[in-house]
A and B are shown apart, each in its own frame.
Chain A
Amino acid sequence: MKTVYVDNNATTQAAPEVVDAMLPFFTERYGNASSMHSFGGGLIVDIRRARARVADLIGARPDEILFTSGGTESDATAIHAALQSNPGKRHIVTTRVEHPAIKNLFEQYGQNGYRVTVVPVDGQGRLDQETLLKSLDDDTAIVSIMWANNETGVINPMDDLAREIRSRGILFHTDAVQAVGKLPIDVGRTKVDLLSMSAHKFHGPKGIGALYIRKGTKFKPLVVGGHQEAGRRAGTENVPGIVGMGKACELAGQHLEDVGTRVRRLRDKLEQSLLRAVPRSMANGGQSDRLPNTSSIAFEYVEGEAILLLMNEHGICASSGSACTSGSLEPSHVLRAMGVPFTAAHGSIRYSLSHYTTEEEVDFIIAKMPPIIERLRQMSPFWKQAMEQAKAQA
């Protein structure tokens, strides 16, 4: 059976060019970049080239890029650095729809004596900017707001937010893990102080990410030890990963236009076709500015895990906002924050496309989904109730 992979917000396939670029660094060129001999030390040149490619993708300078193990570490490093550098300030701000890497981190800071403001969103996933700006004061150390949401793809107005937050002398961090490689990003225009990214979300390898740190931003390392990364992140450089991320950034820059046009068209086709074919379905955050590759569709009165497993029978890979698929028993905090009712939150499926998604694959999904939903609805007591109610009203 062929795999139809539309779970690219979870992870992506490494591009063949990325794998090719990495391989020599496991075999012929396995040295340690900190060594005095040129066999190891010479790798600094490769790291420098990769750093420049990462910087290029987001309009930064190479010395503003810090390599980490991924998005989660970048987030933790950014918040740690901001709070350690501003020890007098005890207020931190984020949103209700963040990735667990930020959500749980902020909860932990909250338990450790920080005052935490968690800004709500509206039914379309749009940030309540008034509440955000009102919460800011002299005690606020940092605001962390994701560039784009991983579940719905909803994009925040980053230029405005950066201007407002930084004009108050407050640090602004963004978890841009879902945005990098899908949207053009230029930190020269969008003046964030700190930005997290992760290579495996845009066809790079897993286990490598980066934190952009605007020049002049005070910094304290999270991981201490050796002097790597100019003393900002200890630990032997993950050279294959760094080289792979550099290559992935170079390719992502070349593929941005495809993602913004062809992939967007495929996403729109998928979404509109499913909404037409399946009654009582809706696009979560569908009226907001969204990532071009993401569609979150709620199928009412059915449960996400069951949908995913029936999709799996056709080789279709996606993910769900349902409780049953996660460790927790509550449906997605993102959909609940948007006020998506339980009838729909449990049955929400996220389709996330990539540069490698084909029209044939989208057509396959469009053909397979409606019978899956219909089959589960025929088993659902709530669907029976809803249909009886509708009949009574008619």
Chain B
Amino acid sequence: MWEYTDKVKEHFLNPRNVGAIENADGVGEVGSLACGDALTLYFKLDGDGRIQDAKFLTFGCASAIASSSALTEMIIGKTLEEAEKITNEDIADFLGDLPKEKMHCSVMGKEALDKAIAHYRGEAARAPDGNIVCECFGITDREIEKTIREHRLTSIEDVTGYLKAGGGCGKCHDNIQQIMDHVFGQPVSIQPQAKKMTNIQKIRLIEETLEREIKPALHQDGGDIELVDVDGVRVMVKLRGTCAGCSAAQVTLKNVVEAKLRELVTTDLVVEEVRA
């Protein structure tokens, strides 16, 4: 059982500002069902540009709900300029601290706030910077490096606590360690050189990887994938079953399929969807 502070428990048991705001000025959505937590933050401004009302809907654990509730209390009455200065640490502090493993709940709050403000200002949502390292939760090397620097994280468990990165299958642990070594100036182990492959070898390896690594995962959610062609570094695939037309399919294609192929075949592959 987690050791939550009384304030976390109190905000979980009696969350403030639950619900949606119709015609909100700013809306920020983060997380997903697959990840196990998600938050939608709404705010409405008054005539002076201050946050008059804020509400949230959260799917997640006690600390996710408490962080969301805390966030709404913290931003009400603030201007957007004031609100955007709030950090995830401020949210954790407001709650009297969060367990290390649950810091990502406060990070999620901060991200939702940023997104809601960007939404109000009409800014396009920023695409994630860098290359995906943690495929399970779609976390990039840039994000990991930034978080390690900001919070002086020294273990993979800490990185997982803050970002979730590395908390799924665990395959990216070596990569996270390398980023940490790099940040703290320790020797970086040298990646083995990729072998040169013939085209046939490459196509076979792509097929094998799809069969072994990707299809079983898609089948679990009722989807499927089919290799159509390989042209140089372009891998053309068709999505089937529930994957076809699924709004998350593009994300899966890049974050899971492409990342997996890059990991196991060659690092320069680009996956493209061919529509039927």
Contact = CB atoms under 8 A, between A and B. Distances in A.
A339 interface: yes
Contacts of A329: 35-36, 136-137, 160, 164, 167-168
A330 interface: yes
A15 to B, nearest CB: 25
A161 B60 CA distance: 40
Interface string A279-298: 00000000000000000000
A378 B20 CA distance: 10
Contacts of B20: 384
Contacts of A324: 36-37, 60-61
A381 B220 contact: no
B38 A382 contact: yes
Contacts of A301: 33, 59
A386 to B, nearest CB: 10
Given A329-B137, A330-B168, A342-B33, A381 B40 contact: yes
Nearest to B31: A381
Interface in A330-344: 330-331, 336, 339, 341-343
B12 A306 contact: yes
Nearest to B38: A381
Given A329-B168, A330-B168, A384-B20, A342 B34 contact: yes
B58 A322 contact: no
Given A329-B160, A342-B33, A379 B15 contact: yes
B36 A346 contact: yes
Interface string B19-56: 01000000001000111111110000000000000001
Classify the secondary structure of A's interface with B. Answer: loop
Chain A CB within 10 A, most for which of B35, B36, B40, B221: B36
Given A323-B36, A324-B36, A330-B167, A305 B61 contact: yes
B172 interface: no
Interface string A302-337: 110110011001000000001111011111000010
A381 B39 contact: yes
Nearest to B12: A309
Interface in A215-229: none
Contacts of A341: 221
Contacts of B60: 303, 306, 324
B214 interface: no
Contact of B33 (A305, A378, A379, A382): A382
A303 B60 CA distance: 5
A380 interface: yes
Contacts of A325: 61
Chain A CB within 10 A, most for which of B20, B59, B65: B59
Nearest to B136: A330
A381 B59 contact: yes
B65 A343 contact: no
A121 to B, nearest CB: 12
B221 to A, nearest CB: 6
A379 B164 contact: no
Chain A CB within 10 A, most for which of B18, B34, B137: B34
B86 interface: no
Contacts of B35: 329
A343 to B, nearest CB: 6
Given A342-B34, A346-B36, A379 B13 contact: no
Contacts of A330: 136, 167-169
Contacts of B101: 327
Nearest to A377: B59
A380 B18 contact: no
Interface in B235-263: none
A346 B64 CA distance: 14
B62 A309 contact: yes
B33 A313 contact: no
A383 B33 CA distance: 11
Contact of A302 (B34, B59, B137): B59
Given A309-B12, A346-B33, A378-B18, A384 B62 contact: no
B57 interface: yes
A73 B50 CA distance: 61
Contact of B18 (A323, A346, A379): A379
Contacts of A382: 33, 38, 59
A384 B164 CA distance: 25
A336 B167 contact: no
Given A324-B60, A379-B15, A381-B29, A306 B36 contact: no
A337 to B, nearest CB: 8
A303 B12 contact: no
B13 A331 contact: no
A302 B169 CA distance: 23
Nearest to A336: B220
Contacts of B220: 336, 339
Contact of A384 (B36, B37, B57): B57
A324 B169 CA distance: 15
Contacts of B61: 303, 305-306, 322, 324-325
Nearest to A309: B62
Nearest to A302: B59
Nearest to B57: A381
A296 B32 CA distance: 23
B160 to A, nearest CB: 7
A282 B160 CA distance: 31
A316 B67 CA distance: 25
B149 to A, nearest CB: 22
B62 A306 contact: yes
Interface of A: 301-303, 305-306, 309-310, 313, 322-325, 327-331, 336, 339, 341-343, 346, 378-384
Given A339-B222, A346-B33, A384-B57, 11 more contacts: A303-B60, A305-B61, A305-B62, A306-B12, A309-B12, A322-B36, A323-B167, A325-B61, A342-B36, A379-B58, A380-B57
User: Which 6 A/B pairs are nearest by Cβ-Cβ distance?
Assistant: A329-B167, A305-B61, A324-B61, A381-B57, A381-B40, A380-B59
30 contacts: A301-B59, A302-B59, A303-B36, A303-B37, A303-B59, A303-B60, A306-B60, A306-B62, A309-B12, A322-B61, A325-B61, A327-B101, A328-B167, A329-B35, A329-B36, A329-B136, A329-B160, A336-B220, A339-B220, A339-B221, A339-B222, A342-B33, A343-B33, A346-B33, A379-B15, A379-B56, A381-B38, A381-B39, A381-B59, A382-B38
